[in-house]
Chain A
């Protein structure tokens, strides 16, 4: 709870804690899921289908490196660019709020994901069955980052160009990574896709820290 950079840190922290106990309702714990995938694959549609607010946009400075076709070689400098990110949220209860952040899809933004995924529980990588290679960068990134994720194939017009087994083969992803079909416009379908991500996140978290066993509310970060 201490965010005071000055030498009065101890005093100010006590002051903060005092005021919070007396007057401030505690804030919900934010839980973050990343919605990733190529450009125009339906990230914002997915966020909008389930969010209780219309998707909002924040613009952030991101460090990027020129890679791929315009790669000038090993001397390439990182550059800073402004990226628009769409997000939405779902209030689970008074103490928990789920946030969904759509990432810019281009692979050149891989660097900025480090900041965005910090603290995230997992990711849904959205794939278009006609343009599968657009999601390679996302999958590669989350595998390296050891971030739990699932691949959701957006069935734009009710059918897929390839079946899920073919898509799994084409993406060369591990058997234990879920590949599912969903409709980005449908709230229940998006909810179910997020549940698959959350189940993966749960497995991942249990491996690091076992469940305590009681079902009571958990309070983190607040005194």
Chain B
């Protein structure tokens, strides 16, 4: 889905994606472009929730339809109607991952979004066994 109101330069992945062979060449104009997505977060580059990882699940609180939010925040709430990973929110809305984390952190603080944190960082053997059985059964 294409959220309304996302600036065009963010909608074009090629505009902010540096060449894979020399991604951090200082002279590359992409180096300055990379900073621009953070305009959406009012310049903040560090969010409140450092425990949010790529795969962390987030979901909107049912009935959360706040009236006055930025287009990006509204798009996040719309896409989070079912549990979804932070990485997927970032990819589907074509928002920079760091920006996505900050915006989700804001929406969480404001009571619109639940972050389903997994307390234990390393999965236990029972969970891994279930993945093994599940993968064997699916394919």
Contact = CB atoms under 8 A, between A and B. Distances in A.
Contacts of A61: 34, 45, 96-98
A28 B24 CA distance: 36
Interface residues of B, number: 67
A113 B30 CA distance: 22
Interface in A43-61: 50, 56-61
Contacts of A79: 24, 26
B129 A202 contact: yes
Contacts of B92: 56
Given A27-B59, A61-B98, A101 B54 contact: yes
A118 interface: yes
B90 A218 contact: no
B19 to A, nearest CB: 11
A181 interface: no
A218 B119 CA distance: 13
Given A15-B111, A220-B127, A119 B116 contact: no
Interface residues of A, number: 77
A32 B21 CA distance: 26
A205 B97 contact: no
A66 B92 CA distance: 31
Say what secondary structure dominates the interface of chain A. mixed
Nearest to A2: B117
A59 B131 contact: no
B51 to A, nearest CB: 7
Contacts of A222: 116
Contacts of A136: none
B16 A195 contact: no
Interface string A68-106: 000000000001111111010110110011110100101
Contact of A23 (B17, B62, B139): B62
B5 interface: no
A119 B121 contact: yes
A206 interface: yes
Nearest to A53: B88
B95 to A, nearest CB: 9
Given A3-B108, A64-B24, A82 B61 contact: no
B128 interface: yes
A93 B135 CA distance: 10
B138 A90 contact: yes
Contact of A82 (B30, B88, B114, B116): B30
A89 B85 contact: yes
B75 interface: no
A209 interface: yes
A174 to B, nearest CB: 21
B59 A121 contact: no
Contact of A32 (B55, B58, B116, B117): B55
Interface string A188-210: 10010011001101100110111
Interface of B: 13, 16-18, 20-21, 23-24, 26, 30-31, 34, 45, 48-49, 51-59, 61-63, 82-83, 85, 87-88, 90-92, 96-98, 100, 105, 108-109, 111, 114-132, 134-136, 138-139
9 contacts: A15-B111, A31-B123, A31-B131, A32-B53, A59-B13, A104-B20, A198-B131, A218-B127, A220-B120
The 10 closest A-B pairs by CB, nearest first: A27-B83, A92-B134, A56-B91, A27-B57, A30-B55, A60-B97, A81-B24, A27-B116, A221-B118, A58-B90
